[in-house]
Amino acid sequence: KIIIRELKTSEKIPIDRHKQGLFEEIQLATYSRMWELTHPGDLVIGAGISVIGHNTEHFVEISSEFLSEAQQHSVGKTTNLLKSKLDFRKWLANSLSLILQASANSVEGKVHPTPSEEACRFCRVSSICPVSIKGDKS
C-alpha cells in the first residue's frame, strides 16, 4: 500500500494548497498511476501535498477503505475532501480520464491556451503563439 506525496512551497493557507493539488492539478493523479504501472502489485491508497515552509504540514487524502489503517500510522493530516460521493479510486480514475482526454485533444490540435505574462514567459512556443503575452523576458 502506497501513499504519494508531492512537496510544495506555498504562500497559501496549507490546506488550500492541498485542495489545489487534488482538484486543479494533474501531478498527484499522474504520479499515483505511474507508480502502480511501474510497481506491479502496489496499490496507491492515498495522495497529498506536503506544504514546506517555516511550519511544514503534510496532508493526505486516503481511500475510505484504508482510512482507519492509515490513521494508525504517521501519514500526516488525513483529509476527507473527496467525501463519500467520490472516493480516492474514483477520483484517480476521473483525473486520469481528464488527463487522457486533454492529451488526445492536444494531439488533434484542440489547444486552448490560457496566456498570462507569467505563463508565456517560460513557454517554449510563445515566440510563435498568436495569443502570447509579450513581457520582459529577463
Q: Does residue 136 share a domain with residue 96?
A: no
**How large is the average pLDDT for residues 58-75?**
87
pTM of the complete model beyond 0.85: no
Beta carbons of 3 and 9 less than 8 angstroms apart? no
As given in the structure block, the three cell numbers for residue 27 are 501531478
Burial of 136 from C-beta contacts in 10 A (0-12 / 13-18 / 19+): exposed
Q: Where are the beta strands (DSSP E) in the chain?
A: 2-9, 44-52, 57-62, 77-79
Radius of gyration of the chain (CA): 18
Q: Does residue 134 share a domain with residue 87?
A: no
Asked whether residue 11 carries a pLDDT value surpassing 90, the answer given is no
Domain residues for 75?
Answer: 2-107
In percent, the amount of the chain with pLDDT more than 70 equals 95
The reported pLDDT for the residue numbered 112 is 79
The reported pLDDT for the residue numbered 70 is 84
Q: Does residue 33 share a domain with residue 9?
A: yes
How many domains does the chain fold into? Answer: 2
**How large is the average pLDDT for residues 92-121?**
86
Q: Does residue 26 share a domain with residue 90?
A: yes
Q: Does residue 79 share a domain with residue 32?
A: yes
The reported pLDDT for the residue numbered 106 is 80
Q: Does residue 20 share a domain with residue 60?
A: yes
The reported pLDDT for the residue numbered 72 is 85
